[in-house]
């Protein structure tokens, strides 16, 4: 039987930015929490969409044709193959869902290592 996962509790366990932490898994997907601040790298995922749900803070997802602004409770899916660059002026807490093999930068050389908490 599955365990209940409290996202607030999980987010309190770490302080590093841009380092996704796996909190659950289902059907070959990683459910992760991550803290962001500053600008990430421009990247895309050729084979998967990119799911963002803002738990706390304000996030801008920069796209080549305009920006998407998200606040607490907002969800946005970047379609596969679309180049994007997440940016957070202040710290943001996110829930992210990706297939287990997805790299956060789309590139094995620069991707963060996912760890379970």
* pLDDT tens across the length of the chain (117 residues): 578 999 999 999 999 999 999 999 999 999 999 999 999 989 888 888 999 999 999 999 999 999 999 999 999 999 999 999 999 999 999 999 988 876 655 566 666 666 778
The whole-angstrom separation of Cα 5 and Cα 47 is 28
What residue spans define the domains of the chain? 7-116
Maximum distance among all alpha carbons in the chain? 44
CATH fold of 7-116 reads Jelly Rolls (2.60.120)
**DSSP annotation string for 1-32:** -PPP--HHHHHTT---SS--EEEEEETTEEEE
Q: Quick count: other Cβ atoms within 10 Å of Cβ 77?
A: 12
């Amino acid at each position: 039987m599955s365990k209940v996962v409290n996202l607030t509790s999980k987010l309190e366990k770490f302080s590093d930015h841009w380092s996704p932490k796996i909190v659950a898994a289902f059907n070959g997907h990683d459910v992760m929490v991550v803290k962001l601040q500053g600008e990430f790298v421009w990247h895309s995922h050729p084979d998967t969409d990119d799911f963002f749900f803002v738990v706390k803070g304000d996030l801008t997802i920069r796209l080549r044709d305009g920006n998407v602004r998200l606040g607490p409770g907002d969800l946005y899916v970047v379609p596969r193959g679309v180049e994007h660059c997440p940016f957070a002026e202040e710290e943001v807490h996110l829930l992210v869902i990706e297939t287990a093999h997805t790299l956060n930068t789309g590139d094995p050389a620069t991707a963060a290592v996912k760890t379970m908490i």
